[in-house]
């Protein structure tokens, strides 16, 4: 006999989304949600998580919690089945005297990295709870009885139950990275592999993995994590102890890389797009497939995340760019006055301005005018190349001033109208970085002849040569730590790190050949790539995936 197992029957209980007590059983003032149209209900406050139900225009739902989001809050509601789910505020009606008291929780506390739901067929020919020898219908176990240092997966709250069943009573919820002792197991039911575990204070059953959601909740001592929550922030005292913890490959040499607090995106020379969740390293093939359809219309040439990771922007060969809303999987294509392939996309530090460059000019956009429904975005100005020099790249300084790299030099533009505000800082036969390195107060690190690093400062719209920092032959790429206390640079053969603002040499990283590098937004890792290989480095004991 074959059983058709769906995610809906147990996904919420397994992940711990359901609260132990129904809101209907409490005495607190009510807060209700309704909608004039049908809306999807998700297992987590993410549009790429499991769809568990639908809001009916004729029904009212109690509101349990809220996750604040710049582009529309998420509300946790109670369904008539007493299950819980999340609805994105896309014109919903929320009313009641208790709405002001609805708890607001952080998105990370409410989210997991589960991919969209699927339906899976599982053979039911074994004795109850017996795991198939080949784990057919289940994710293979990676745990053994007595194994030490088994931990809860990063980004996941593990639910401990009295029995190995998603319908059993909840005993506790374990925080990410909690170490557990393995007492007995495995047992298998409905695509879930269960183990009996113990901590200092509790004992019960928890899921190692869920095949329907393609998720591991427990991980063995040597784990497939890019960065562990226990990894410290990189500082000048510990960066010398950095180790490579993950390696992933692309089908062709990497052309561009973008990193957000939640995702890593890569574009290879063949035009293929790759996305991974950060820091878990879980491939996001579902999102990559959506973006690949956009790339099929016109090849992608560059990419960039906003500072929160809510938007991934893709520049195209036809001069247009794509806004991909990562939390809702919404794609919008924006028309521009550019007629040649886009070369760079740069956000300012407030996420209110976007600088776009191509060989035929520069444009500045007002992100506060973005209309996702009508696929529109207002441009503030568009100019032809300054003084006729071909544009290569652009960035926005800390104060929003546009800095444009052209053939042979750097120029400063007026953010209000795009007019040139300074003479060119001419660099002859220099190694041109992917972008000038902007440090906090508007100081710009630039590479002059022979790999000599100099600092220029924005002064009344112009650039003032401050000093030579150091000589480092053949610089190809640089990265600034979020704390602005570390800088890393590479000549393609080695990666060196320096302390700021003194530029004291700290250490050489064991990275080998590197084409480009980034510090992660959380400051815990260095991401490097060379050819078709991406490596993740942090201060923790581990090994490559």
Cβ pair 423, 430 in contact under 8 A: no
Same structural domain for residues 271 and 408? yes
Last residue of a domain, one of 110, 136, 162: 110
pTM to 2 decimals?
Answer: 0.59
* Confidence check: pLDDT of 448 > 70: no
More confident residue, 152 or 225: 152
97 within domain boundaries: yes
Residues whose CB falls within 8 Å of the CB of residue 289, separated by 6 or more in sequence, listed in order: none
Query: How deeply is 387 buried, as exposed, middle or buried, from its count of CB atoms within 10 A (0-12, 13-18, 19+)?
Result: exposed
The Cα-based distances of 124 to 9, 127, 141, 193, 522 in angstroms read 17, 8, 19, 15, 45
Is residue 172 included in any domain, yes or no?
yes
What is the CB neighbour count within 10 angstroms for residue 396?
Answer: 21
CATH number of the domain enclosing 267: 2.130.10.10
pLDDT the model gives residue 5: 29
Phi, then psi, of 265 in degrees rounded to 5? -120, 140
On whether both 89 and 141 belong to a single domain, the answer is no
pLDDT at 431: 42
pLDDT-derived band of residue 10, with 50, 70 and 90 as boundaries? very low
Residue 482 lies in a domain: yes
**379 pLDDT more than 90:** yes
Contact 183, 196 (CB under 8 A): yes
Q: Look at residue 48 in the predicted model and tell me its pLDDT.
A: 57
pLDDT digits (tens, 9 = 90+) for 43-64: 778 765 666 677 777 678 889 8
| Residue at a domain's end among 86, 110, 134 | 110
User: Do 266 and 365 have their domain in common?
Assistant: yes
Query: What is the count of structural domains for the chain?
Result: 3
**Mean pLDDT of all residues in 356-371:** 92
Contact (CB, 8 A) for 353 and 337: no
> What pLDDT is attached to residue 121?
34
- Mean pLDDT in residue range 334-358: 92
Q: Bigger pLDDT: 394 or 337?
A: 337
Distance CA 313, CA 325 (A): 9
Q: Is residue 234 part of a domain?
A: no
Q: Are 131 and 84 contained in the same domain? A: no
Asked whether residue 84 falls in the same domain as residue 189, the answer is no
Q: Is the pLDDT of residue 314 over 90?
A: yes
Look at residue 17 in the predicted model and tell me its pLDDT.
35
Residues whose CB is less than 8 angstroms from the CB of residue 526 and which lie 6 or more positions away in sequence, other chains included: 234, 242, 479, 488, 495, 509, 511, 517, 518, 519, 520, 536, 537, 538
Taking only the tens place, the pLDDT of each residue in 253-279 is: 988 889 988 889 999 898 889 998 888
413 and 525 co-located in one domain: yes
In this predicted structure, what is the pLDDT of residue 309?
84
DSSP code of residue 244? E
Same domain, 215 and 252: no
Residue 454 lies in a domain: yes
Q: Answer whether residue 450 shows pLDDT above 50.
A: yes
User: Is 129 within the bounds of a domain?
Assistant: yes
CATH number where 33 lies:
2.30.30.40
Percent of the chain with pLDDT over 90: 16
Phi, psi values for residue 291, rounded to 5°:
-70, -30
* Domain co-membership, 195 together with 103: no
In whole numbers, what is the pLDDT of the chain averaged over residues?
Answer: 77
Please say which residue of 89, 110, 131 terminates a domain: 110
For residue 37, pLDDT over 70 is answered with no
Same domain for 415 and 447: yes
Of the listed ranges 195-204, 446-455, 522-531, the least confidently predicted one is 446-455
Most confident listed range (198-207, 395-404, 531-540): 198-207
Task: Verify that 401 and 295 share a domain, yes or no.
Answer: yes
Give the model's confidence band at 331: pLDDT under 50 very low, under 70 low, under 90 confident, else very high.
confident
* Residue 168 forms part of a structural domain: yes
Residue 429 pLDDT exceeds 50: no
- Per-residue pLDDT tens over the stretch 157-172: 788 999 988 888 889 8
Query: Per the omega criterion (within 30 degrees of 0), is the bond before 186 cis?
Result: yes
Of residues 424 and 382, more confidence is placed in: 382
Contact 408, 399 (CB under 8 A): no
Mean pLDDT of 331-353: 91
pLDDT of 510 over the 70 cut: yes
* Residue 122: per-residue pLDDT: 32
Q: 248 with 365, same domain?
A: yes
pLDDT at residue 120, rounded to an integer: 31
Q: List, as one string, the DSSP characters of 304-368.
A: EE-TTSSEEEEEETTS-EEEEETTTTEEEEE--S--S-EEEEEE-TTSSEEEEEETTEEEEEEEE
Give the per-residue pLDDT at 340. 94
pLDDT at 107: 62
pLDDT value for 50: 64
Once rounded to an integer, what is the mean pLDDT over residues 518-537? 88
- Domain hosting 149: range is 119-219
Q: Identify the DSSP state of 85.
A: E
Same domain, 259 and 381: yes
Does position 343 have pLDDT exceeding 70, yes or no? yes
DSSP conformational letter for 388: G
User: Is 37 a member of any domain?
Assistant: yes
DSSP string, 177-189: T-EEEEEEEEEEE
């Amino acid at each position: 006999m074959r059983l058709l197992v769906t995610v809906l029957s147990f996904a919420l209980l397994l992940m711990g989304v359901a609260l132990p007590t129904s809101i209907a059983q409490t005495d607190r003032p009510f807060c209700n949600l309704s909608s004039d149209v049908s809306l999807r209900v998700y297992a987590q406050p993410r549009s790429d998580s499991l769809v568990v139900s639908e809001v009916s225009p004729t029904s009212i739902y109690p509101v349990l919690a809220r996750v604040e989001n710049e582009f529309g809050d998420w509300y946790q509601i109670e369904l008539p089945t007493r299950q819980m789910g999340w609805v994105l505020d896309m014109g919903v009606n929320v009313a009641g005297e208790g709405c002001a008291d609805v708890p607001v929780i952080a998105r990370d506390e409410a989210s997991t990295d589960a991919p969209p739901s699927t339906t899976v067929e599982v053979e039911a020919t074994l004795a109850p709870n017996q795991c198939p020898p080949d784990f057919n219908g289940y994710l293979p176990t990676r745990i053994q009885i007595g194994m030490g240092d088994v931990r809860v997966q990063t980004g996941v709250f593990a639910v401990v139950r009295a029995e190995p069943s998603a319908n059993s009573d909840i005993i506790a919820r374990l925080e990410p990275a909690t170490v557990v002792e393995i007492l007995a197991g495995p047992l298998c039911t409905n695509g879930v592999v269960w183990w009996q575990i113990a901590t200092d204070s509790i004992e019960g059953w928890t899921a190692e993995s869920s095949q329907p959601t393609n998720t591991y909740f427990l991980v063995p001592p040597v784990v497939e994590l890019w960065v562990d929550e226990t990894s410290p922030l990189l500082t000048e005292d510990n960066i010398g102890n950095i180790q490579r913890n993950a390696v992933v490959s692309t089908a062709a040499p990497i052309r561009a890389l973008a990193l957000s607090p939640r995702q890593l995106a890569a574009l290879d020379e063949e035009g293929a797009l790759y996305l991974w969740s950060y820091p878990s390293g879980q491939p996001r093939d579902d999102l990559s497939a959506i973006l690949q359809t956009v790339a099929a219309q016109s090849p992608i040439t560059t990419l960039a995340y906003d500072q929160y990771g809510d938007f991934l922007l893709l520049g195209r060969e036809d001069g247009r760019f794509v806004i991909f809303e990562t939390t809702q999987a919404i794609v919008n294509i924006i028309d521009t006055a550019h007629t040649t392939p886009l070369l760079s996309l740069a956000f300012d530090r407030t996420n209110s301005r976007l600088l776009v460059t191509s060989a035929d000019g520069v444009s500045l956009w007002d992100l506060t005018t973005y209309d996702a429904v009508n696929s529109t975005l207002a441009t503030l100005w568009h100019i032809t190349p300054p003084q006729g020099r071909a544009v290569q790249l652009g960035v926005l300084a800390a104060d929003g001033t546009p800095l444009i790299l052209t053939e042979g030099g750097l120029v400063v533009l007026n953010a209000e109208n795009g007019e040139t505000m300074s003479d060119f800082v001419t660099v002859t036969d220099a190694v041109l970085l992917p972008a000038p390195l902007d440090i906090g107060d508007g100081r710009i690190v630039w590479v002059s002849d022979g790999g000599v690093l100099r600092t220029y400062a924005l002064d009344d719209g112009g650039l003032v040569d401050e000093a030579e920092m150091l000589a480092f032959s053949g610089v190809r790429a640089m990265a600034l730590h979020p704390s602005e206390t570390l800088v890393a640079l590479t000549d393609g053969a080695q990666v060196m790190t320096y302390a700021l603002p003194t530029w004291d040499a700290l250490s050489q990283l064991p990275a080998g050949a590197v084409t480009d590098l980034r510090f992660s937004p959380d400051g815990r890792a260095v991401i490097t790539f060379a050819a078709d290989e991406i490596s993740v480095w942090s201060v923790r004991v581990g090994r490559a995936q």
